[in-house]
Amino acid sequence: MPWTRDEMAQRAARELKDGFYVNLGIGMPTLVANHAGDLDITLQSENGMLGMGPFPWESEEDADLINAGKQTVTELPRTSYFSSADSFAMIRGGHMDLSILGAMEVAENGDLANWMVPGKMVKGMGGAMDLVAGTPRIVVMMEHSDKAGNPKFIPACTLPLTGRNVVDVIITDIAVFERADRKGAPFRLVETAPGVTAEDVKARTTAAFVV
């Protein structure tokens, strides 16, 4: 049985550590904010918010408080606000400890493709290229296969790259892969969803990995 998106977010939250400054990409990664628990982390948004709280309860939304994906969020007593330019200066300056992003493809060597949607008009690459270049640890959350059933963890990316050799952890709806370093270490299968075997993962994955 595959993990739900919320269960994937719970697993991604295990990558957080006390004191971390974290940027969450749009889509599934934003769910991680609800699973930080008692950890002392600071969430940063590309649109100029540092210290985001969890999503608001229904009827408690403030339309002026949104994340980079235009979802309403909450503020904390320590929340601060600034320009998008200052936000990207933080990212490009290497001040984020971890970024959790979505992806359309991840290659077995850690290449990431997550900004060009095939067959659709795209306004630009957003902040993903800055994030993968300026953040030391990148966690990807994505479905294991696309809507046509094709694997997304593959030998080499076919879509335009966001970054080369930048992914450290991959969390899909059936498995978790991680690698020890970006110096040639292979991805290792370290966890599977309930009832999913290593053979099941191999059958649905074209990228090479170690069990």
pLDDT at 110 over 90: yes
CA distance 154 to 107: 5
Choose between 175 and 74: higher pLDDT: 175
pLDDT at 53: 83
pLDDT for the residue 87? 94
Mean pLDDT rounded to a whole number for the chain: 93
Element holding 177 (H helix, E strand): strand 175-178
Average of per-residue pLDDT across 110-133: 86
- Provide the pLDDT for residue 71: 86
- Going from the N-terminus, what domains does the chain have, and what CATH number goes with each? 5-203 (3.40.1080.10)
What pLDDT, on the 0 to 100 scale, is given for residue 69? 79
Distance CA 81, CA 159 (A): 35
78 pLDDT higher than 80: yes
Kindly indicate the confidence band of residue 162, based on its pLDDT and cuts at 50, 70 and 90: very high
Cα-based distances in Å from 7 to 72, 92, 193, 194? 21, 30, 10, 11
- Is residue 46 part of the annotated active site? The answer reads yes
Low-confidence winner among 58-72, 73-87, 117-131 (lowest mean pLDDT)? 117-131
For position 170, what pLDDT does the model report?
98
What does R_g of the chain's alpha carbons equal in angstroms? 17
Of the ranges 81-95, 118-132, 142-156, which one carries the lowest mean pLDDT score? 118-132
pLDDT tens, residue by residue, 10-69? 999 999 999 999 999 888 998 998 898 889 999 999 889 999 888 888 889 998 898 887
pTM (2 decimals)?
Answer: 0.93
Q: Active site residue: 15, 46, 105, 108, which one?
A: 46
Asked if pLDDT for residue 119 goes beyond 80, the answer is: no
5 band by pLDDT with thresholds 50, 70 and 90: very high
The DSSP code sequence of 114-173 is -S--TTS-----TTHHHHHHH-S-EEEE--SB-TTS-BSEESS--SPPSBSS---EEE-S
**pLDDT at site 185:** 96
